[in-house]
């Protein structure tokens, strides 16, 4: 479960740098591949600004079948914050590399739209024989994003459950000197 969750959160972070408006399903197969997302992003989405970014992910809900009543709300409010430097060289490599980070070819999109900085997407990831489906909404810009997501997935020994979280990505300054 941890790997699939990390993959989904990393893919969400990468999504703000690489998705676009309109219908990105170029081949019409009902699924938006990373490659299709990248092609749309090249023309329609401004590149993120290089710099130091802070990402704060806050769990807002957890529903696992069979969870005891005393566990209700467990994990809600749990916050993880990281900082990462996005260099000019990484930005110059283009969207494909940014979108691929953390996905290992395991994710595709059922749909996504980013029009006027508003995101509406559904991403499906397959990892370790499990499927996780994540719905995402929010806003994006060249210096950050505010996203809300709800992920449905199979939990070890418990069955299918959901996890909800928010993610805030914000440019907080320049990258530290090496």
How crowded is residue 176: how many other Cβ atoms within 10 Å of its Cβ? 8
CB 84 within 8 A of CB 65: no
Give the domain extent around 105.
2-173
Number of structural domains the chain divides into: 1
pLDDT for the residue numbered 19: 35
CA 123-164-49 angle, 5° bins: 60
User: pLDDT tens digit string along 38-52?
Assistant: 565 555 555 788 999
Query: Does any domain span residue 28?
Result: yes
Question: Which has the closest alpha carbon to 10: 153, 149, 137?
Answer: 149
pLDDT for the residue numbered 104: 57
Looking at per-residue pLDDT, the higher value among 111 and 176 belongs to: 176
Question: Which has the closest alpha carbon to 56: 116, 13, 8, 99?
Answer: 13
Residue 151: CB partners within 8 Å, gap ≥ 6? 5, 8, 132, 133, 134, 135, 162, 163, 164, 165
| Distances from the Cα of 59 to the Cα of 12, 79, 98, 164, angstroms | 14, 7, 24, 6
Query: Does any domain span residue 178?
Result: no
Query: Does any domain span residue 21?
Result: yes
User: pLDDT tens digit string along 2-34?
Assistant: 333 443 444 444 444 333 334 556 666 766 666
């Amino acid at each position: 479960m941890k790997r699939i969750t990390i993959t989904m959160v990393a893919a969400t972070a990468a999504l703000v740098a690489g998705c676009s408006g309109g219908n990105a399903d170029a081949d019409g197969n009902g699924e938006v591949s990373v490659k299709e997302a990248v092609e749309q992003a090249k023309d329609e989405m401004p590149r993120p600004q290089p710099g130091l970014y802070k990402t704060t992910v806050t769990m807002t809900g957890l529903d696992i079948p069979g969870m005891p009543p005393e566990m209700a709300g467990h994990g809600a409010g749990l916050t993880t914050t990281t900082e990462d430097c996005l260099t000019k060289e990484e930005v110059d490599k283009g969207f494909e590399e940014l979108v691929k980070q953390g996905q290992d070819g395991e994710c595709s999109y059922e749909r996504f739209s980013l029009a006027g900085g508003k995101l509406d997407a559904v991403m499906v990831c397959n990892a370790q024989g499990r499927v996780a489906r994540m719905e995402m909404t929010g806003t994006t810009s060249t210096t950050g994003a505010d996203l809300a997501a709800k992920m449905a997935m199979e939990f070890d020994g418990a069955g299918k459950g959901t996890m909800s979280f928010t993610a805030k990505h914000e440019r907080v300054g320049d990258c530290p000197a090496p």
